[in-house]
Amino acid sequence: MIKFILKFFSIMPLWLNHFIGGLIGKILYWTNGRSKRISKQNIELCFAELTQVQQDKLVKKSLIEMGKGLSESGFIWFNNFEHNASYIKKIKGLEHLFSEPNTILLVPHFGCWEIAARVVSLHKPTTFMYKALPNKKQNALLLSVRQQRDLAMAAADKKGVLKLHRALKEEQLIAILPDQYPGDEGSILSTFFGQKAVTMTLLAKMARKNNAKVLMTWAQRLDKGQGYELNFKPIDILSESGVLKEDVAKMNQAIEALIRTKPEQYLWNYKRFKGVIQY
């Protein structure tokens, strides 16, 4: 059933896909379910300076964008890479992909990271870290649509970390989404939007160990299903002190700065503060 729904979304023009996705987001907002509850809780924490009305508007906008993220998954996964690339209307900073042999892509849960992965791999072989789904059939489907051509996937476990190290050694691109909950191992408490958050240390450790360039990478959705703008921005996450905690803090600050440019395109229904607050 899931595969059928995703394929259904794949045959739509993007404007219609995003229109329907936006309706899904509005329904999630109106029904006051889990996604709205978590988004509301996160936004209240991170944007305490906003009025309640402003926070509520951001919750609604973020759920609309989340709905687009759901519908566009089928559009991306069940069309080929070149078809995906045709919807990238502008690329900023592409030259940075080739300027250094060791390059790590820092890809937050912002905009459409699925299309970013595919289009990046058209320019250079890329290994993306992902969190495996608990359902084996769903995970197999996820891998089958993600891991194609020059795009490889590395699970968020010890074997996956070794795979990332090998890819970096072979001067391939590696990509990590460091704003997901990593569990107790490989994490520290760091500040994110003024709140304590359990934060992954892997990206900062790999960047320092390999003297790697870090590129903030994101595909921002354009209005009315017009496509995407793909961005590569060099960022410095390595502190002068060399202390891991300070490296991670700089990484979180960089992610936060990006989110503030278009906060509704961040995945606020994700339990970013898991392990610190009760959802």
Question: How confident is the model at residue 136, as a pLDDT?
Answer: 86
Beta strands in the chain (DSSP E): 88-92, 103-106, 126-130, 151-155, 173-176, 187-192, 195-200, 213-221, 228-235
With respect to residue 224, please indicate whether it lies within any of the assigned structural domains.
yes
Asked whether residue 64 is assigned to any structural domain, the reply reads: no
Whether residue 209 lies inside any domain: the answer is yes
**Domain for residue 220, yes or no?**
yes
In a domain, 106, yes or no: yes
Mean pLDDT by 10 residues, the chain (279 residues): 87 97 97 96 98 98 98 96 98 93 96 97 96 86 92 93 95 95 90 97 96 97 97 96 96 98 98 94
Length of the chain counted residue by residue: 279
Phi-psi sector, 230: left (phi>0), alpha (psi -120 to 50), beta: beta
Residue 97: predicted pLDDT? 93
Q: What is the pTM (predicted TM-score) of this model?
A: 0.94
Residue 51, in any domain of the structure: no
pLDDT, residue 184, reads 79
- Angle (CA) 82-94-209 rounded to 5° is 115
Pairing of strands 213-221, 228-235: antiparallel
- Has residue 200 been placed in a domain? yes
Predicted pLDDT of residue 138: 85
State the CB neighbour count (10 A cutoff) for residue 118. Answer: 27
pLDDT digits (tens, 9 = 90+) for 31-63: 989 999 999 999 999 999 999 999 999 999 999
Cβ proximity of 251 and 204 under 8 Å: yes
The two counts, helices (H) then strands (E), for the chain are: 10, 9
pLDDT at 274: 95
* Total domains in the fold of the chain: 1
The answer to whether residue 75 is domain-embedded is no
Q: Which domain holds residue 249?
A: 84-265
User: What integer pLDDT is reported at residue 254 of this predicted model?
Assistant: 98
